[in-house]
Amino acid sequence: MVKDNKATLIESNNLDGHKDMYIYSRRDIELTQVYDEDTPTFSSQLDEIGIRPSIVHRNPGAKELMHLVVKRGEGVISSTGSVAVNTGKYTGRSPDDRFIVDDDMTHDTIDWGKINHKFPADKFDMLFAKMKDHVAGKELFVFDGFVGADEELQMPIRVINDRAWQSLFCNCLFIVPTEEQARTHIPKLTIICINDFEAVPDVDGTESNVFIIINMTRKIVIIGGTKYAGEIKKSVFAVMNFLLPDLGVFPMHCSANVGREDNTALFFGLSGTGKTTLSADPDRMLIGDDEHGWSDRGTFNFEGGCYAKCINLNKEAEPEIWDAIRPGAVLENVVLGPGNVPDYNDNSLTENTRAAYPLSYIPGAKIPSVGGNPHVILFLTADALGVLPPISKLTRDGAMYHFMSGYTSKLAGTERGIKEPKSVFSECFGAPFMPRPASVYAKMLGEKIDRHNTTVYLINTGWSGGPYGLGKRISIKYSRAMVTAALTGTIEEAPYRHDPRFNLDVPTRVKGVPTEILDPRNTWEHKKSYDAAANKLADMFVKNFTKFSQVPASVIDAGPSPA
């Protein structure tokens, strides 16, 4: 029972009929109705890390959270029944404001540099103390759940924040516990995201008022100054990517699905390359759209939901995502028209409009979201130069080369300051989320490919007929046809040509795809312009790869040749 008679425990029902728990007035709260005798109470767990709010909402259901979002003025209900919110100044990740605490655990294991920034342990402690003082006596929301659909590798997490809509976001994106799991929940990772708390750079050692700081040793992440919920999701991902290799599990920035014959496929790629869109296939079961692990038992989703880009969302092209935006889902920075109807074509707030929704909202989703060892891997790149073939087959060494390279064009809105596509190399198709050196993850990929005889393809979902501004984006219809050919194996029946510049084996025929676009040079009006752009990209590959040391010669030789 609740010890303090001024504290009240209120129970309601969420969308799944599970009881929700609210705690009002925290003074000496003991939740013996919720926890077993041998389990530390929820209140004592918060006390242990120094969080002492006055009001706590723990694991409310989607209906109640939607009500609180509107009541608190955080957002509105769109015509789809989903919650629509505006994240203000920050509509994408802030990579320059993300840090990892430099200590005994991380000093020699993190790939420090332009992506993984060092942060002193004492500065972390001081900033965390200020954050705890800031939330003392305030109203907070807590999501208790899990990351990792494989129960043997599952990590219990706790997300504490000051926005009801972000708790709803967590309810969509992470794995929601059963009532029994909630009774015994002890987090092994805690994320504290306080939108209204900002850093003072000159005092706190941050780059700006925004901060995302990961303490691997203490298993705590603190986030402040930004309302963009993607920072929560990606911080959890970074922690998993650091921890899992020591357990022999290959962590991956990819989507995954499985066919009727249990043939699992992985889709690697940065934001905007088509991971979510191409893996949401009505003829296959979706395992997950973004973050996965590959253990000896097979593939498993880290999350319990999807976080899809929805700029220019079209019901005909992406019916699964369109229909998933309904009550319980969250729309970020989508402009609403009359009647609160979402205008997915309006990019006046950002190109990085997003929809978060539970995996169960996708028809035929695989729940629990686990699959077998992948038969096919697809590397997706959005080449804004318009010179890469739309599909090519990679050798094992070629797969390691392109995995370490992680070439794509960073699309507008994904990060602050990106206004138009920019060619980038992002190791492992997810460098912002991979704390260890790329060679660690590439070695695991090569071993997995060898062990399970996995076939790998490189698919360009970017431009054809010229670069961005002159050419056109490759039709999603054609990209789907190429993916289908790879997954069904029919692409193996086609003749191949070898592209000596990029060292790629390219099919000359794919069902449902115009033959002329399979050779990108054919789509350019001025062939010399294509050759110049292709040589430029090949040189970019070669120059980028020089940053890697102790790489087998066979992997280096599998890449493009310098012009």
Query: Which of 273, 275, 311 shows the shortest CA–CA distance to 292?
Result: 275
Instruction: Note whether 8-74+90-246 and 375-557 share their fold.
Output: no
Catalytic residue among 144, 150, 290, 499: 290
Confidence class of residue 39 from pLDDT cuts 50, 70 and 90?
low
List all residues 6 or more positions away from 140 whose beta carbon is below 8 Å from its beta carbon: 51, 53, 55, 56, 57, 160, 161, 162
How crowded is residue 549: how many other Cβ atoms within 10 Å of its Cβ? 7
According to the model, what pLDDT value does residue 317 have?
Answer: 85
**pLDDT above 70 for 455:** yes
- Using CA atoms, how far apart are residues 495 and 91, in angstroms rounded to an integer? 45
pLDDT tens for 456-475 read 999 999 999 999 999 999 99
Catalytic residue among 106, 264, 276, 414: 276
Looking at CATH, the fold of the domain delimited by 375-557 is given as Phosphoenolpyruvate Carboxykinase; domain 3 (3.90.228)
According to the model, what pLDDT value does residue 105 have?
Answer: 98
Residue 168 tokens, joined = 């709803």
According to the model, what pLDDT value does residue 270 have?
Answer: 86
List all residues 6 or more positions away from 475 whose beta carbon is below 8 Å from its beta carbon: none
pTM (2 d.p.): 0.88
Does the annotation count 163 as an active-site position? no
**pLDDT above 80 for 5:** no
Of 410 and 287, the structure prediction assigns the larger pLDDT to 287
Catalytic residue among 57, 98, 163, 234: 234
Which of 3-12, 160-169, 383-392, 462-471 shows the lowest per-residue confidence on average (mean pLDDT)?
A: 3-12
Q: Parse the chain into domains and list their residue ranges.
A: 8-74+90-246, 375-557
Does the annotation count 529 as an active-site position? no
Catalytic residue among 354, 396, 402, 436: 354
Does the annotation count 452 as an active-site position? no
Confidence class of residue 260 from pLDDT cuts 50, 70 and 90?
confident
Does the annotation count 134 as an active-site position? no
Confidence class of residue 35 from pLDDT cuts 50, 70 and 90?
very low
What value does the mean pLDDT of the chain take? 91
**pLDDT above 70 for 379:** yes
pLDDT tens for 88-97 read 999 999 999 9
**pLDDT above 80 for 26:** no
Does the annotation count 67 as an active-site position? no
Catalytic residue among 94, 271, 408, 426: 271
According to the model, what pLDDT value does residue 441 have?
Answer: 97
Stretch 265-279: mean pLDDT: 90
By the 8 A CB rule, do 476 and 410 touch?
Answer: no
Does the annotation count 234 as an active-site position? yes
**pLDDT above 60 for 432:** yes
Q: Where are the beta strands (DSSP E) in 195-280?
A: 211-215, 220-224, 250-258, 264-268
According to the model, what pLDDT value does residue 419 have?
Answer: 55
Does the annotation count 354 as an active-site position? yes
Stretch 312-319: mean pLDDT: 92
Does the annotation count 25 as an active-site position? no
**pLDDT above 50 for 19:** no
Catalytic residue among 58, 227, 233, 275: 275
CATH placement of domain 8-74+90-246: 3.40.449.10
> For residue 291, what are the β-bridge partners?
253
